[in-house]
């Protein structure tokens, strides 16, 4: 019995010897099973969550409208006009050309100088002409001496004839000599005056007060009155009492009348002066096939000058038309259109409308067709708009 007990004890002792290893293994197995259980529970929770319905979105949570500013279409007086290229011309403008031949010896002015009437501009070598005048003066004195002698002689012969000392033939012959010498003397006087007047042409003077233009000649040049551009010495323009020369096409000849308004504009399109037509040519220019009309211009020389090209806008009439700001007009494919704000089902939207543009009035476009008075056109954010897009009106 003791041996059996001893064996049983040993067996029990042996199981106790292997007990700790078995316990570690059981702990690991229970931990793994716990992890699987937790993971399964998480998956089941996620599946249950995914099966639930999402709450519906609140009304109005879709596309929001674009805030825009609008203005109402109104009527304004719009001028019906046509634009033409006009030329500014002075009523007193002279092209200075030589009237005699010679070498230019002196130029006393510069381009752009203001000169007075009679002021010397240039000198042509006058020495040959001065010699001619001196010769004619000597001839005149000779003729004068002979004429003075015959004045005394004819008076003496008259007294002798009346006293009966000389015959009638002698007196008549002496009277004839007197008439001949008188005519010679008078001819010499006129010849001298003519050459003196010609001598004055060697001094070039300003014909009136004005502004000196370009001077294409130089000292030492030979000049002559050839009636060609090469003979031009300079120009003198008074630069006041200017006129705008406008050629209107013959198609509008029936509309041209005295007193029509003309807006004179510079090259940038800025208004320079308002004036009116005061001359209409009775003839048609055969080259331009237009009718010349003139309008006085009173701007200073700092703004307009003789022979300057400008824009002239003739105003035919003035009529009320619908107008919209320039910012409201957009172009697509070269065609102008505007966005009009319209209300549908309690909501506002931008509706694209094509328009026909007229003349500009300040910062406004006149509209010939496409809009009605009272339409509200959108003037802000037009680059972001599309047809039918929701919008939210802001303050005007």
Q: Give pLDDT, residue 261.
A: 93
Answer yes or no: is 2 within a domain: yes
- Average pLDDT on 54-79 reads 71
Which has the closest alpha carbon to 123: 111, 100, 107? 107
Q: Characterize the bridge pairing of strands 389-393 and 66-68.
A: parallel
Q: Is the dihedral of CA 26, 31, 34, 36 positive or negative?
A: negative
pTM exceeds cut of 0.75? no
User: Is 284 part of a structural domain of the chain?
Assistant: yes
Domain check: are 293 and 332 in the same one?
no
Residue 168 confidence class, pLDDT cut points 50, 70, 90: confident
- At residue 31 the predicted structure's pLDDT band, cuts being 50, 70 and 90, is very low
Are residues 70 and 47 both part of a single domain?
A: no
CB 304 within 8 A of CB 88: yes
Q: Is residue 103 part of a domain?
A: no
Closest CA to 251 of 163, 316, 199, 335: 316
Do 130 and 189 lie in one domain? The reply is yes
Segment 220-276, tens digit of pLDDT: 999 998 766 668 999 998 877 889 999 999 998 889 999 999 999 887 778 888 999
- Last residue of one domain, picked from the residues 319, 350, 367: 319
Using pLDDT thresholds of 50, 70 and 90, give the confidence band for residue 47. Answer: very low
Q: Kindly state the average pLDDT of the residues 331-355.
A: 90
Which pair of tokens denotes residue 8?
A: 């049983």
Tokens of 340: 């009009």
Q: Which of 149, 146, 148, 137 lies closest to 188 in space, CA to CA?
A: 137
Residue 383 falls inside a structural domain: yes
CA distances from 10 to 2, 13, 17 (A): 12, 5, 10
CATH number for 165: 1.10.287
For residues 154-183, average pLDDT: 89
The tens digit of pLDDT for each residue in 176-207 reads 999 999 999 999 999 999 999 999 999 999 99
**What CATH number should be reported for the domain holding residue 338?**
2.40.420.20
In a domain, 215, yes or no: no
Average per-residue pLDDT for the chain: 82
- Whether 311 and 342 map to the same domain: the answer is no
Within this chain, do residues 277 and 326 fall inside the same structural domain, yes or no?
no
Angle at Cα 110 formed by Cα 107 and Cα 112, nearest 5°?
A: 150
CA end-to-end distance (rounded Å), the chain: 117
Q: Indicate whether 314 and 367 sit together in one domain.
A: no
For residue 351 the two structure tokens come to 């509706």
Same domain, 274 and 334: no
Verify that 284 and 354 share a domain, yes or no. Answer: no
Full residue range of the structural domain in which residue 282 is found: 84-91+237-319
CA dihedral 286, 289, 290, 291 (to 10 degrees): 40
pLDDT range class, residue 20, cuts 50, 70, 90: very low
Residue 368 pLDDT grade (very low, low, confident, very high; cuts 50, 70, 90):
confident
Is there a single domain that holds both residue 193 and residue 137? yes
Q: Are residues 71 and 36 in the same domain?
A: no
Domain boundary among 153, 183, 201: 201
**Taking the CA of residue 186 as centre, how many other CA atoms within 13 Å lie in the half-sphere pointing to its CB?**
6
Question: Would you say residue 173 lies in a domain?
Answer: yes
Average pLDDT over residues 166-181: 89
Give the residue with greater pLDDT, 183 vs 61: 183
Torsion of CA 38, 39, 45, 47, to 10 degrees: -160
> For the chain, how many structural domains are there in total?
4
pLDDT tens for 112-136 read 899 999 999 999 999 999 999 999 9
Residue 212 forms part of a structural domain = no
**137-151 tens-digit pLDDT:** 999 999 999 999 999
Tokens found for residue 219? 């000292």
Domain end among 319, 344, 375? 319
Identify the H or E element spanning 303.
none
Q: Which residue is associated with the tokens 């897009």?
A: 389
From 301, 272, 356, 357, select the one nearest 114 (Cα to Cα).
301
What is the model's pLDDT at position 77?
A: 87
At residue 30, the pLDDT reads 57
Band (pLDDT 50/70/90 cuts) for residue 28 is: low
232 occurs within a structural domain: no
* Cα–Cα distance, 75 to 220 (Å, whole number): 69
Nearest-10 Cα torsion for 180, 185, 190, 192:
140
Structure-model confidence comparison of residues 246 and 92, the more confident one:
246
pLDDT at 54: 42
User: Is residue 45's pLDDT more than 80?
Assistant: no
| 32 has a pLDDT exceeding 50 | no
């Amino acid at each position: 019995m003791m041996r059996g007990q001893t064996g049983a004890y040993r067996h029990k002792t042996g199981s106790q010897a292997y007990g700790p290893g078995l316990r570690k293994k059981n702990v690991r197995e229970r931990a793994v099973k716990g992890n699987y259980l937790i993971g399964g529970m998480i998956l089941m929770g996620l599946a249950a969550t995914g099966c639930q319905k999402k709450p519906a979105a609140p009304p109005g949570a879709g596309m929001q409208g674009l805030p825009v500013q609008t203005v109402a279409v109104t009527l304004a007086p719009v001028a019906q006009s046509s634009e033409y290229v006009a030329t500014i011309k002075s009523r007193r403008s002279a092209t200075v050309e030589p009237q005699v031949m010679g070498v230019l010896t002196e130029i006393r002015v510069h381009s752009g100088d203001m000169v007075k009437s009679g002021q010397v501009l240039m000198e042509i070598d006058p020495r040959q002409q001065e010699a001619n005048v001196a010769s004619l003066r000597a001839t005149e004195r000779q003729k004068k001496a002979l004429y003075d002698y015959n004045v005394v002689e004819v008076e003496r012969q008259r007294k002798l004839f009346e006293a009966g000392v000389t015959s009638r033939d002698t007196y008549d012959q002496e009277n004839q000599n007197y008439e001949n010498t008188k005519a010679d003397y008078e001819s010499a006087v006129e010849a001298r005056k003519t050459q003196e007047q010609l001598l004055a042409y060697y001094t070039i003077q300003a014909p009136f007060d004005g502004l000196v233009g370009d001077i294409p000649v130089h000292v030492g040049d030979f000049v002559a009155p050839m009636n060609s551009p090469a003979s031009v010495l300079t120009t003198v323009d008074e630069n006041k009492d200017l006129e705008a020369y406008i050629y209107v096409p013959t198609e509008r000849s029936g509309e041209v009348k005295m007193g029509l308004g003309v807006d004179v504009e510079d090259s940038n399109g800025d208004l320079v002066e308002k004036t009116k037509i005061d001359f209409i040519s009775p003839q048609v220019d055969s080259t331009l096939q237009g009718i010349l009309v003139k309008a006085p211009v009173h701007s200073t020389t700092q703004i307009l000058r003789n022979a300057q090209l400008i824009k002239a806008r003739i105003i035919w009439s003035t009529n009320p038309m619908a107008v919209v700001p320039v910012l409201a007009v957009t172009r697509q494919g070269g065609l102008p259109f505007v966005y009009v704000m319209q209300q549908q089902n309690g909501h506002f939207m931008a509706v694209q409308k094509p328009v026909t543009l007229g003349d500009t009035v300040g910062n406004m476009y006149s509209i010939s067709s496409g809009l009605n008075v009272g339409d509200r056109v959108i003037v802000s954010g037009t680059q972001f708009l599309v047809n039918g897009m929701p919008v939210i009106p802001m303050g005007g």
